[in-house]
Amino acid sequence: MAVLVTGGGGFIGSHTCVELLQNGFDIVVVDNFSNCNPKSLERVKELTGKDFPVYPCDIRDLDGLCKVFDNEKIDSVIHFAGLKAVGESTQIPMEYYDNNVVGTLNLCRVMAKYGCKKIVFSSSATVYGYDNPSPLVETMKTGGVTNPYGRTKLMIEEILKDIAASDDEWSIVLLRYFNPIGAHESGRIGENPNGIPNNLMPYITQVAVGKREFLSVFGGDYDTPDGTGVRDYIHVVDLADGHIKALDVLNKKTGVAIYNLGTGNGYSVLDIVKAFEKASGNPLPYKIVDRRPGDIDVCYSNPEKAFKELGWKAKRGIEDMCADSWRWQSMNPNGYDD
């Protein structure tokens, strides 16, 4: 029986595939490769020495998904597939609702049709909205989300809760990610955004390899120790390990379980810049500019519930995150296009 990984070619998906394979799971990957390079999966196979089926398929393609379930014995699903750029989502909201929400509904329909009712969903701390104080805990109300990307995550959480309420055979885990950064220690897989990076770390690494002139620090007047935004950065391999632990829950109980995947520590933009300079051994040019619309001062997790119930805790610190991000980018200046 295999774990179906939708979006398995992406940054978090590919790192999770490595951890699944190295923990003895069989996997099947579905990805439409609209936002990632298939080479990432070739490197997953190289790193693990294991082979697995890859279906170039969009989760909105009902027939394509049915073919996967016809051909493979799927026991559970880890669902990463979706568009994830906050800014872009405000420009093309219909694409985001179609890809993320309709795609997930499609996936759940096909799962039910084949009697597969176990799913781990890649959610986001963004569902807590802006009026919850950090450290964020799972019992806090959700909502107050100000962009279509975040609203798709919130809607999908509600859809999955309604599915579980309608059919008590479903086992559902919602994992709320904070800020995933870093890369596999080999430097063979990593974050490979298309175009100009929206997120902090890929922008920093592209400056460090000379692809970008300097980092724009969005805002120096936040209510934080150094005035720059504070976030809960978590190593992508720690995040991947959280998914392995979540699979155990699917096999132990039905209903919906929700967990924060964060470190519980907040670091500012300038903290990350300094840690990165130490890791790379070079100064990182930056300029403090105006705030980015929609950003908040501080966002970090209380990760205790995942520790108590999953036995999961992030092990890697920002030094590892920066060193691993730097190794990936310096070994692959053009990402998978090298």
Residues annotated as part of the active site: 149
Q: Can you tell me the distance from the alpha carbon of 292 to that of 229, in angstroms, rounded to the nearest whole number? A: 10
> Which residues have C-beta within 8 Å of that of residue 274, sequence separation ≥ 6?
none
Please, what is the minimum distance in Å from the beta carbon of residue 156 to ligand WQD? 13
The span of 16-24, 33-41, 94-102, 195-203 binding ligand WQD (CB under 6 A) equals 195-203
CA-only gyration radius of the chain, Å: 19
Print the binding letters for residues 202-221 with ligand WQD: x by CB under 6 A, - otherwise. Answer: -x-----------xxxx---
Q: Can you tell me the distance from the alpha carbon of 249 to that of 256, in angstroms, rounded to the nearest whole number? A: 10
Residues within window 278-337 making contact with ligand WQD, judged by CB under 6 A: 292, 295
Neighbours of 251 (CB within 10 A): 10
- DSSP category for residue 83: -
Nearer to ligand WQD, 67 or 274 (CB): 274
Nearer to ligand WQD, 62 or 284 (CB): 284
User: 3-state DSSP call for residue 275?
Assistant: helix
Binding flag, residue 146, ligand WQD (CB under 6 A): no
Helices (H) and strands (E) in the chain, counts: 12, 14
Please, what is the minimum distance in Å from the beta carbon of residue 333 to ligand WQD? 18
Binding flag, residue 33, ligand WQD (CB under 6 A): no
Alpha helix ranges (H) inside the chain: 11-22, 39-48, 62-71, 86-91, 93-96, 103-113, 148-166, 200-208, 236-252, 269-280, 304-310, 318-331
Nearer to ligand WQD, 5 or 68 (CB): 5
The span of 34-42, 100-108, 192-200, 250-258 binding ligand WQD (CB under 6 A) equals 192-200
Please, what is the minimum distance in Å from the beta carbon of residue 53 to ligand WQD? 26
Nearer to ligand WQD, 150 or 335 (CB): 150
Residues within window 57-96 making contact with ligand WQD, judged by CB under 6 A: 84, 86
Binding flag, residue 179, ligand WQD (CB under 6 A): yes
Instruction: Report the phi/psi class of residue 193: left, alpha or beta, with left for phi > 0 and alpha for psi in -120 to 50.
Output: beta
Site of interaction with ligand WQD (CB under 6 A): 84, 86, 124, 126, 177, 179, 198-200, 203, 215-218, 229, 231, 269, 292, 295
